[in-house]
Structure 1
Amino acid sequence: MASAGAKSAVEWLVSVASDPEGCRWEWERNPLGVALLPAGRLWDVLILGGELGYPTLDVLTRLVPRPGPVLADFGDARMGFFVPPGTSARWLATGVRSAGRGTWIVVPYPGRATGGVRWLVPPDGSGNLTDPAVLELAMHEAAAQLAGGGT
């Protein structure tokens, strides 16, 4: 049985689907525990390589009490940071991919283990997202640390 937080997270996530109830029903019964959801409605996703993504998440968690949702793919090669919709259209950073309006992302069911993509910071159902300016600051700090210029 899913916790109350996971249930509200599920409701928040499926609210972007054209048929939220049908999406939730299928998602709960999917043996892989994943759903394909459209980006660009309630969130965009900025996708960093794991080499920069993990240090960025570390810095981000020191800058804000709770960042927005963060995904990691199978093998930790990429991480997806949930940011406000429209961010991907304005994002200019080299080496950062994005998912915004017109794209879809694979999303694991909150609170359920999957064999692939997983939540590093699960959604809490409140709609909390990472501020892109704070994420960019965290990325710069993480990159400096990786280059040996940070503490």
Structure 2
Amino acid sequence: MTNTMWMRGVEWLAASAADPRACKWEWDHGEGIALLEAGRFWDVLSVPERLGLLTLDLLWRPGLPVPGPTLVDTKAGRVGFLLPPDPSAAWVGAGLRYATKGSWVSVPPPYRPARSLEWLIPPDGTGALHAPGTLEEALREANGTLAVLAPLCGR
């Protein structure tokens, strides 16, 4: 990612903060994590880490668009996919959590990890997000793969 793309990613992400200047200061000089409200520019679908990493791998297939911004929280064992805002979305599944308007998300800067949070795919500043249909299809496939592997891993 070029320096210009990093800067555009920072500006785009910070724009979702109540005070973008304070958000960028926190990233650079504070704890390195900002609390940003979902539902304005993006929502977040958070899934268990194993499912999320396999899903992200499936999204890198040839012919599919580059996946959207994706976070990992290694301490919580979760992967978060940024999606277009949709307060009526109904994501159903074991371990799925959907953050939309009124939900707050801990976010590191796009250019470095902070504590247990880091971007697997940082925002590039264009506003590109995961396509809900494509993400749902990859989640279903990943979940099916994990269901098949579970008995084998338990031996």
TM-score higher than 0.5 here?
yes
Instruction: Tell me what 1:147 maps to.
Output: 147
Unaligned runs of 5+ in 2: 150-155
Matches within 5 A, 1:65-104: 65-75=65-75, 77-86=77-86, 89-95=88-94, 96-104=96-104
Q: Tell me, in whole angstroms, the C-alpha distance in 2 between the residues paired with 1:76 and 1:126.
A: 28
Report the 3-state secondary structure (helix = DSSP H, G, I; strand = E; otherwise coil) of the residue aligned with 2:26.
helix
Between the aligned residues of both structures, percent identity stands at 44
Cα deviations across residues 103-139 of structure 1 (Å, max 9, x unaligned)?
A: 1101111112323111011111111000111100001
- CA deviation after TM superposition for structure 1 residue 14, in Å: 0.9
- The aligned counterpart of 1:60 is 59
Q: Cα offset for 1:89?
A: 3.0
Residue of structure 2 in register with 1:34 after alignment: 33
Q: Measure the CA separation in 2 of the matches of 1:114 and 1:57.
A: 21
Aligned to 2:153: none
**Alpha-carbon distance in structure 1 between the residues aligned to 2:120 and 2:91:** 25
Match of 1:47 in 2: 46
SS in 2 for 1:148: helix
Moved over 6 A (4+): none
- C-alpha RMSD of the superposition: 1.8
Q: Against the structure 1 CA distance between its residues 103 and 76, is the aligned structure 2 distance closer, same or farther, given a 3 Å change threshold? A: closer
Cα shift at 1:147: 2.3
Counterpart of 1:131 in structure 2 is 131
Asked if structure 2 preserves the Cα contact closer than 8 Å seen for 1:74 and 1:115, the reply is: no
How does the TM-score come out when normalised to structure 2? 0.86
Task: Report deviation, 1:90.
Answer: 1.5
* Structure 1, unaligned runs of 5 or more: none
